Amino acid sequence: MEEKMEWSGKYRNIYFKICNFDYGDGKKDKWTFYVYINLNQMPRRIAEKLWLKPKRTKFPSGYRTHYDYYIWPFKDMDFHSGITWYSKQTGFDKDPRIIQVGCDYMHLWDKEQLYNQNYIESDVKQCIDSLYRLIPNIKQPCRYCGKFMAVKEENPIHESCQIKSDEFSKKYTQVKS
Ligand SMILES: [Zn+2]
């Protein structure tokens, strides 16, 4: 039986997922990791570039959609042996556009190597660091309303949100005392 385990996390305000597959055949287990890029968090011009146009290839069984994802910045990100996955996670019907990009540890040279969750997690963090290196002006969520702001500092807050937050804590302290 195939068993799948998943771990999700967030690092520098970017979500990621680690997957482990055990095929139950006594062979080594397999790992993958994915980084979720919310295009609202990207500078506008870059965001449009990352929402790839689908390519359609005809097979005897029908058409298949795929993407030419071996482009900047994906090809320069620190994926394990390069990106092997691109998909559109959400972004239909006016939802925010979120893409999923990832890689796997199933190459020939991975056969002798033992991996574990901590190992992959440190890789995925490095991969997110590389995204920040390539795109230093990734927007950060306001810590009050969650909307993305074009600032580099982590945990920013809108001025108007700061006022609301102050009012809230004042009220809360009054009720308490
Ligand atoms: Zn705000």
Closest CA to 14 of 38, 31, 33, 32: 38
Percent of the chain clearing pLDDT 90 (strictly above): 69
**Ligand 1 centroid from CA 62, angstroms:** 47
Amino acid at residue number 88: K
pLDDT for 176 beyond 80: no
**Rounded average pLDDT over 4-33:** 88
Q: What is the pLDDT of residue 27?
A: 67
Hey, what are 50's tokens? 């990352």
Give the distance (Å) from ligand 1 centre to CA of residue 14.
Answer: 18
Question: What confidence tens digit (pLDDT) does each residue in 76-89 have?
Answer: 999 999 999 999 99
Q: Please report which confidence band the pLDDT of residue 112 belongs to, taking 50, 70 and 90 as the band edges.
A: confident
Question: pLDDT digits over 35-76, tens only?
Answer: 999 999 999 999 999 999 999 998 888 888 999 999 999 999
Q: How far is the CA of 45 from the centre of ligand 1 (A)?
A: 23
| Confidence at residue 173, expressed as pLDDT on a 0 to 100 scale | 79
CA of 44 to the centre of ligand 1 (A): 19
SS (HEC) of the chain = CCEEEEEEEEECCEEEEEEEEECCCCCCCEEEEEEEEEHHHCCHHHHHHHCCCCEEEEECCEEEEECCCCCCCHHHCCCCCCCCEEEEEECCCCCCCEEEEEEECCCHHHCCCCCCHHHHHHHHHHHHHHHHHHCCCCCEECCCCCCEECCCCCCCCCHHHHHHHHHHHHHHHHHHC
Ligand 1 centroid to residue 42 C-alpha, Å: 17
List b or e across 19-43, with b for residues whose CB sees 16 or more CB atoms inside 10 angstroms: bbbeeeeeebebbbbbbbbbbebbe
145 Cα: distance to centroid of ligand 1 (angstroms): 4
pLDDT at 174 over 80: no
Residue 153 has pLDDT above 70, yes or no: yes
Task: Check residue 121 and give its pLDDT.
Answer: 97
Say yes or no to pLDDT of 141 above 80: yes
Output the CA 95–ligand 1 centroid distance in Å: 19
What is the identity of the amino acid at 60?
P
pLDDT one-digit tens code per residue, 91-107: 888 889 999 999 999 87
Is residue 158 within 8 Å of 145, Cβ to Cβ? yes
Is the confidence at residue 177, as pLDDT, over 70?
Answer: no
Ligand 1 centroid – CA 121 distance (Å):
30
CA–centroid distance, residue 120 to ligand 1 (Å): 33
Asked whether 121 and 18 are in contact (CB, 8 A), the reply is yes
Q: What is the pLDDT of residue 92?
A: 84
Distance, in Å, from the CA atom of 84 to the CA atom of 90, rounded to the nearest integer, reads 19
Distance of CA 155 from the midpoint of ligand 1 (Å): 11
Distance 158 CA to ligand 1 centre (A): 4
